[in-house]
Structure 1
Amino acid sequence: MTAGGEPGGVEALYPFLYPAQGGLDALLADAERSTAEKFTEIAALRASLSARLKPALTRCAQAVAKSFASGGRLLAFGNGGSATDAQAFTTLLAAPPPPDRPLPAFCPAQDTASLTALANDVGFEVVFSRQVAALGRRGDVAVGLSTSGGSANLLRGLEEAARLGMVTVGFAGYDGGPMAGSGAVDHLFVVPSASVHRIQEAQTTLYHRLGELTLAALRDAR
Structure 2
Amino acid sequence: MTSEMEALYPFLYAGKSEPDAVLAEVRRSTEEKAAEIVALRESLAESHAERLVRCARELAARFLDGGRLFAFGNGGSSSDAQRVVGLHACPPPPARPLPAMSLPHDVASVTALSNDVGFEVVFARKLAALGRRGDIAVGFSTSGGSANLLRAFEEAGRLGMVTVGFAGYDGGKMAESGMVEHLFVVPSSSVHRIQEAQTTLYHVLWELTQRALAGEL
TM-score interval, smaller chain: over 0.9
Match of 2:42 among 19, 38, 47: 47
Secondary structure in 2 matching 1:211: helix
- Structure 2 vs 1, CA of residues 12 and 219 (structure 1 numbering), >3 Å: closer, same or farther? same
SS in 2 for 1:83: helix
Does the Cα contact within 8 Å between 1:20 and 1:26 map onto a contact in 2?
no
Which residue type is aligned with residue 37 of structure 1?
Answer: E
Q: In structure 2, what residue type is equivalent to 1:51?
A: E
Name the CA distance, whole Å, in 1 between partners of 2:50 and 2:71: 22
Q: 1:62 aligns with which of 57, 66, 79?
A: 57
Q: How does 1:142-221 map to 2 (within 5 A)?
A: 142-220=137-215
**Counterpart amino acid of residue 49 in structure 2:** K
The CA distance in 1 between the partners of 2:167 and 2:10, in whole Å, is: 30
Do the aligned residues in 1 keep the contact of 2:11 with 2:25 (CA within 8 Å)? no
Q: Among all aligned residue pairs of Structure 1 and Structure 2, give the percentage whose two residues are the same amino acid.
A: 67
How many correspondences in the alignment? 215
Tell me, in whole angstroms, the C-alpha distance in 2 between the residues paired with 1:214 and 1:112.
29
Match of 2:22 among 20, 24, 27: 27
Superposition misfits of 4+ residues, deviation over 3 angstroms: 7-10, 14-19
Q: C-alpha distance in 2, partners of 1:12/1:26? A: 18
Which of these residues, 58, 66, 73, is aligned with residue 68 of structure 2?
73
| Structure of higher CA gyration radius | 1
- Superposed CA RMSD in Å reads 1.6
After superposition, what is the alpha-carbon deviation per residue over 1:11-38, rounded to whole angstroms, capped at 9, x for unaligned?
A: 3334465462352221111110000001
- One-letter identity of the residue aligned with 2:106: D
* TM-score, normalised with respect to structure 2: 0.94
TM-score (norm 1): 0.92
Residue ranges of structure 1 left out of the alignment (5+ in a row): 1-6
| Contact in 2 for aligned 1:109/1:115 (Cα 8 Å) | yes
How far has the Cα of 1:99 moved from its partner? 2.4
8 A contact 2:142–2:167 mirrored in 1: yes
Q: Mark the CA change 1:34 to 1:14 in structure 2 (over 3 Å): closer, same or farther.
A: closer
- 1:100-115 alignment, distance < 5 Å: 100-115=95-110
- Tell me the equivalent position of 2:114: 119
CA distance in 1, matches of 2:198, 2:215: 25
Unaligned runs of 5+ in 2: none
Whether the aligned pair in 2 keeps the contact of 1:20 and 1:27 (CA below 8 Å) is no
Aligned partners of 1:142 and 1:167 also within 8 Å: yes
Alpha carbons 2:57, 2:209 under 8 Å: kept: yes
Counterpart Cα distance in 1 of 2:37 and 2:10: 23
